[in-house]
Amino acid sequence: MNTKPTHSVPTSLFGLPGEDPHELILFGSDSDGGLRSIVAIHNTSRGPAFGGCRMWRYASDLAALTDALRLSQGMTFKNALADLPFGGGKAVIIAPEGASIDRSQLFHAFGDLVNSAGGRYITAEDVGTTTADMRMVASRSKFVSGLPRQGKFGGDPSPKTAWGVFLAIEQGLRLHLKKSLKGSTVAVQGLGSVGLALCEYLSDSGAQLIVADVDELRVAKAIGRFGARRVSPEEILEVSADVLAPCALGGVLNSTSVPKIRASIVAGAANNQLSRPEDGVMLRDRGVLYLPDFLINAGGIVSVAREYLGTGSESEVMSEVALIAGRVAELLERCQSGGSPAEVAETWARQKIGLGSSWSREVP
């Protein structure tokens, strides 16, 4: 599948087009460890910026900056709608070239970079990073979560992310299509840790699965465990299904793909699924219900936030993640006054933060 971002590049080093500048952007490098990293702190009006660290092979430094800026803004909206006492931030690491990476040295250096922000940014795992990596970060900085903790909840947040998306899909089917999951068809794009966990929840509830991933071993696992039907990565966005669940990387909903989508609902775990705001409007105009990623994939940040704060228990965290279903229902109610779900959800988040609406801006 094409997981390369297709969104506009920034015209400024300080923020996204038409948006207020980010509060702080840190560029860090370490020649010994091979680190080249960007920490983007978007907004801290609700508290320290909280968001994971992504490691990826970017086409350019500018592509890495673009990803960091978009992801960090999305975290601001996500944390606000989840009613967490945190702002939005994100880190990206440009994956070093070569087959062998000394991850210990790399993430020690990244921990030093996180520490240099003085607590304004808290990190955790994301695409391309693991709980083991976060242990390395924790040896250099206390501003990290997503760690296995003896006798407590925490660690890998992927199952919590999947649980929230599952509940959103269930709610979307019930309210939008008047259907249950049993017998419904869900096309899952991307079978990483979140995508596979989502497939398990869906399969256990009687959904029929269509799957695609660039990794054939993951596809084989989904076929063996869930009886899923395989399609190619090029086909997954265009299959006929009740729900399309993008669970790979962002930018997959764009001017090219949206006209070809045949699902009734789009609801997945990937961040920044919309390439541009207009693509959310296009989905609405085509009669496709889009449940915004920053509303429904908040289960992971709820988990790592409560772990970091030391509040709650495993059952209480799951109950807090379950509130996503009620937010989906509230979003659909708010949409009755006009506006696409993406527009309405962003406006809702901005109200919680105290930011003005950006939906009247021109998007290049």
pLDDT digits (tens, 9 = 90+) for 17-36: 777 889 999 999 998 888 99
Q: What mean pLDDT comes out for the span 103-121?
A: 96
User: CB of 231 within 8 A of CB of 239?
Assistant: yes
Q: Say what the pLDDT of residue 17 is.
A: 77
d(CA 148, CA 86): 21
For the chain, list the strands marked E by DSSP. Answer: 24-30, 35-43, 49-50, 53-56, 87-94, 121-122, 185-189, 208-212, 229-230, 243-246, 265-266, 289-290
Does the pLDDT of residue 9 top 90, yes or no?
A: no
Q: Say what the pLDDT of residue 97 is.
A: 82
Q: What token pair was written down for 284? A: 């609405």
Q: Say what the pLDDT of residue 364 is.
A: 24
d(CA 3, CA 58): 11
**Per-residue pLDDT tens over the stretch 285-301:** 999 999 999 999 999 99
Distance of CA 321 to the CA centre of its chain: 15
**Per-residue pLDDT tens over the stretch 318-339:** 999 999 999 999 999 999 988 9
Q: Percent of the chain beyond pLDDT 70?
A: 93
- The closest of 285, 276, 226, 271 to 256, measured between CA atoms, is 276
Residue-by-residue DSSP string for 309-335:
HT-S-HHHHHHHHTHHHHHHHHHHHHH
Q: What is the mean pLDDT of the chain?
A: 91
Banded pLDDT at 138 (limits 50, 70, 90):
very high
**Per-residue pLDDT tens over the stretch 25-75:** 999 999 888 899 999 999 999 999 999 999 999 999 999 999 999 999 999
Known catalytic residues are: 90
Sheet of 265-266, strands arranged across? 229-230, 208-212, 185-189, 243-246, 265-266, 289-290
Residue-by-residue DSSP string for 147-209:
---TTSS-S--HHHHHHHHHHHHHHHIIIII---STT-EEEEE--SHHHHHHHHHHHHTT-EE
Q: Say what the pLDDT of residue 4 is.
A: 41
User: CB of 323 within 8 A of CB of 295?
Assistant: no
Which range among 3-12, 221-230, 241-250 shows the weakest confidence by mean pLDDT? 3-12
- Cα within 13 Å of Cα(40), Cβ side: 25
Banded pLDDT at 150 (limits 50, 70, 90):
low
Q: Say what the pLDDT of residue 358 is.
A: 46
User: CB of 80 within 8 A of CB of 353?
Assistant: yes
Q: What token pair was written down for 171? A: 């709610």
Q: Say what the pLDDT of residue 100 is.
A: 74
User: CB of 157 within 8 A of CB of 299?
Assistant: yes
Domains of the chain in start order, with CATH, are 24-78+86-138 (3.40.50.10860), 158-296+332-348 (3.40.50.720)
Between the alpha carbon of residue 145 and those of residues 151, 154, 238, 309, the distances in Å are 16, 8, 37, 9
CB under 8 Å to 30, separation ≥6 — which residues?
106, 109, 112
**Per-residue pLDDT tens over the stretch 239-267:** 999 999 999 988 999 999 999 999 999 99
Q: Say what the pLDDT of residue 362 is.
A: 31
